[in-house]
C-alpha cells in the first residue's frame, strides 16, 4: 500500500469520483476548493513534483487532460497552476496540476 494519498486515489485504493481518466492521468475535485471549479489533474505514475518528471509525453498529457476537463465542465476561462516546492505552496508531493475556474481571478496571484 502506498503512503502517497494521490497514488492511492489514482490506483483506486481511496474511492474518489473521477472527472477524467486515461491510461496516464486521472482528474478529481480538490478537497479544499479555492474556486467554484477546482480540479486536480495528476499523473498515475508517482513523481514528487514536476521537477522530477522527465518524460515530455507524460507532462504534455497532463495539459491535454486539463483541456479536456475544462471542455467537459464547459468552462472557457480558467487558470492552470502547478505549485512546485514548499515555498511555492506545494503540500502534496505527488505532481498535480490545479485547474481553477468559475470566478474572476486577479493577477499577480498572492
Ligand atoms: P498543493 O498545495 O499545490 O500541493 O495542492 C494540494 C491540494 O490537494 C490541496 O488544494 C488540497 C488537495 N488535497 C489534499 N488531500 C486531498 C485528498 O485526499 N483528496 C482530494 N480530493 N484533494 C486533496
Is residue 75 left, alpha or beta, with left meaning phi > 0 and alpha meaning psi from -120 to 50? beta
Residue whose CA lies nearest to ligand 1 atom number 15? 31
Atom 20 of ligand 1, nearest CA residue: 31
Q: In this structure, are residues 95 and 50 in contact, taking their beta carbons and an 8 Å threshold?
A: yes
For ligand 1, pick from 91, 94, 96 the residue to mutate: most ligand atoms within 8 Å of CB: 91
Domains of the chain: 5-101 (3.30.428.10)
What distance in Å separates the CA atoms of residue 27 and residue 21, rounded to the nearest whole number?
7
Catalytic residues: 96
Give me the residues paired with residue 100 across strands.
Answer: 38, 79
pLDDT digits (tens, 9 = 90+) for 57-108: 999 999 999 999 999 999 999 999 999 999 999 999 999 999 999 999 999 9
Query: pTM value?
Result: 0.97
Q: Which atom of ligand 1 is nearest to the CA of 92?
A: 4
**Residue 103, C-alpha cell as written in the block:** 470566478
Amino acid at each position: 500500500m502506498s503512503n502517497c494519498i494521490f497514488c492511492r486515489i489514482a490506483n483506486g485504493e481511496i474511492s474518489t469520483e473521477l472527472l477524467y481518466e486515461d491510461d496516464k492521468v486521472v482528474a478529481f475535485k480538490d478537497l479544499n476548493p479555492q474556486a467554484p471549479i477546482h480540479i486536480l489533474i495528476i499523473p498515475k505514475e508517482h513523481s514528487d513534483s514536476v521537477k522530477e518528471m522527465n518524460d515530455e509525453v507524460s507532462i504534455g498529457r497532463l495539459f491535454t487532460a486539463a483541456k479536456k476537463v475544462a471542455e467537459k465542465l464547459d468552462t472557457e476561462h480558467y487558470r492552470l497552476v502547478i505549485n512546485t516546492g514548499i515555498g511555492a505552496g506545494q503540500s502534496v508531493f505527488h505532481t498535480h496540476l490545479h485547474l481553477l475556474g468559475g470566478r474572476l481571478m486577479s493577477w499577480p496571484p498572492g
